[in-house]
């Protein structure tokens, strides 16, 4: 077993134990999945695929989704690499990444592959940490993954093997909300970008730490946070981003699908 596989599998097993032992976590994530489902368009032809499914929780709420990850587990449908997806050009309606985008060392390389496999009207849905004044110390001090605020982001169009472990929790906030790289991502249209408060998640301790409030407080905290969502830069803790391929027009009202190989 390689070091990367051992690290990944150990995290999967730890998360699975926490999931089964912590009903509060299931209720919190159910709310997150409802946000994702609101961006799913069933009219778009093609399969729905989740990249980096982990312990496979999304499939409970979206049974049609194909659950994938880097390494096989009994609850997954397929083991594959997000940089080299085993799907034909234009064959997928949606790609869903839950807490996976910040593990992409070369996001442009993944977006290039995502554009290849998505149908012309397909959607890429990302659910990620949002770094704000209040969430920054929580993610920075209480989570084992680095925020990597201010570190260079790799804009390469490919990422050769071998590929090592990478994490930068701040990347989605920097790229989709603070727009640190103007006009990024090229070839994509952002149709949804929402940062929202989620103290109910941050105070739950997530998978790694104990909750600091009882389960009975969850709905009250959610209602309170609706007001805080007006100021994501101050109170934000999570974000939801939706993208779709933006094809160049070859004539009035027409779209041209870019050439790509299925190899």
Kindly state the percentage of the chain with pLDDT values over 70. Answer: 92
Structure confidence at residue 223 (pLDDT)? 95
Token couple for 58? 């999304």
- Which residue has tokens 């982990």? 54
Specify the DSSP element, H or E, that contains 219: helix 218-228
How far is the C-alpha of 104 from the C-alpha of 52, rounded, in Å?
11
In the sheet where 236-245 sits, what is the strand order?
78-79, 65-69, 47-51, 92-98, 118-129, 236-245, 188-197
Please give the average per-residue pLDDT across 222-244, as a whole number: 97
- The mean of the pLDDT values for the chain is 91
Contact 49, 95 (CB under 8 A): yes
Confidence of residue 109 (pLDDT cuts 50, 70, 90): very high
Q: Which of 105, 111, 196, 90 is nearest to 154 (CA)?
A: 105
Per-domain residue ranges of the chain: 3-245
DSSP H helix total and E strand total for the chain: 9, 7
Q: Is the pLDDT of residue 256 over 90?
A: no
Task: Kindly report, residue by residue over 70-106, the tens digit of the pLDDT.
Answer: 989 999 999 999 999 999 999 999 999 999 999 999 9
Task: Kindly report, residue by residue over 167-203, the tens digit of the pLDDT.
Answer: 999 999 999 999 999 999 999 999 999 999 999 999 9
Dump strand ranges (E) for the chain: 47-51, 65-69, 78-79, 92-98, 118-129, 188-197, 236-245
Structure confidence at residue 9 (pLDDT)? 75
Please give the average per-residue pLDDT across 113-142, as a whole number: 96
Confidence of residue 2 (pLDDT cuts 50, 70, 90): low
Q: Is the pLDDT of residue 166 over 50?
A: yes
Token couple for 252? 């009035």
Buried residues in 48-67 as b, exposed as e (16+ CB within 10 A): bbbbbbbbbbbbeebeebbb
CATH architecture of 3-245: 3-Layer(aba) Sandwich (3.40)
- Which residue has tokens 């249209």? 189
Contact 128, 239 (CB under 8 A): yes
Structure confidence at residue 209 (pLDDT)? 86
- Report strand pairing: 47-51 vs 65-69: parallel
How far is the C-alpha of 160 from the C-alpha of 166, rounded, in Å?
14
- Which residue has tokens 């596989």? 5
Length of the chain: 263
Contact 194, 240 (CB under 8 A): yes
- Report strand pairing: 236-245 vs 118-129: antiparallel
pTM above 0.75, yes or no: yes
């Amino acid at each position: 077993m390689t070091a990367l596989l051992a690290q990944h599998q150990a995290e999967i097993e730890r998360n699975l134990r926490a999931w089964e032992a912590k009903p509060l976590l299931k209720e919190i994530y159910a709310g997150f999945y409802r946000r994702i489902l609101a961006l799913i368009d069933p009219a778009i032809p093609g399969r729905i695929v989740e990249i980096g499914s982990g312990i496979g929780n999304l499939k409970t709420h979206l049974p049609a989704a194909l659950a994938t990850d880097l390494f096989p587990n009994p609850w997954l449908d397929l083991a594959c690499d997000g940089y080299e997806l085993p799907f034909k050009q234009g064959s997928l309606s949606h790609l869903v990444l839950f807490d996976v985008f910040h593990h992409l060392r070369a996001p442009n390389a993944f977006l290039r592959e995502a554009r290849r496999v998505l149908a012309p009207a397909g959607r890429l849905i990302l659910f990620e940490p949002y770094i704000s004044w209040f969430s920054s110390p929580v993610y920075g001090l209480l989570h084992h993954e680095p925020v990597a605020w201010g570190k260079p982001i790799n804009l390469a169009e490919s990422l050769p093997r071998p590929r090592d472990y990478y994490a930068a929790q701040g990347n989605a906030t920097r790229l989709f909300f603070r727009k640190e790289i103007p006009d990024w991502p090229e070839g994509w249209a952002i149709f949804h970008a929402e940062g929202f408060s989620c103290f109910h998640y941050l105070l739950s301790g997530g998978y790694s730490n104990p909750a600091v409030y009882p389960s009975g407080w969850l709905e009250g905290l959610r209602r309170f946070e609706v007001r805080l969502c007006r100021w994501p830069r101050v109170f934000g803790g999570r974000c939801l981003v939706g993208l779709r391929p933006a094809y160049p027009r070859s004539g009035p009202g027409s779209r041209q699908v870019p050439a790509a190989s299925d190899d």
